[in-house]
Amino acid sequence: MTASGRPAWHPDPSGRFEYRFHNGAGWTADVSTDGQRYVDPLGVGGGRAAGVSTDGQRYVDPLGVGGGRAAGVGGGRAAGAGAGAPGRRDGIATAAMVLGIIGLSTSWIPLLFVPGAVCALLGVVFGLVAWRRGNPANRPFAITGTATGGAGVLLVGIGVWTTTLLFDAVDRFENPPLSDVDLTRCASGEGGLTVAGTITNLGGRTSDYRITVRVPGRTVSATREVAIVVLDVAPGRTAAFDERYPDVSTPTTENDPCRVVDVTGPLPLGLDLD
Boundaries of every domain in the chain: 8-83, 91-174, 179-266
Under CATH, which number does the domain 179-266 receive? 2.60.40.1620
How many CB atoms are closer than 10 A to CB 216?
A: 19
What string of pLDDT tens digits covers the 274 residues of the chain?
A: 455 568 888 998 888 888 898 888 888 988 888 878 888 877 776 654 444 444 545 444 544 444 444 333 334 444 444 444 555 788 999 999 999 999 999 999 999 999 999 999 999 999 999 999 888 888 999 999 999 999 999 999 999 999 999 899 899 899 999 999 999 988 877 778 889 999 999 999 999 999 999 888 766 666 888 899 999 999 999 999 999 888 776 665 555 688 999 999 988 876 665 5
Query: For the chain, how many residues are written?
Result: 274
Report which of 216, 202, 201 is spatially closest to residue 252, judged by C-alpha positions. 216
Q: What is d(CA 52, CA 65) in angstroms, rounded to the nearest whole number?
A: 10
Report which of 5, 3, 37, 7 is spatially closest to residue 19, judged by C-alpha positions. 37
235 within 8 A of 241, measured Cβ to Cβ: no
Q: What is d(CA 267, CA 212) in angstroms, rounded to the nearest whole number?
A: 12
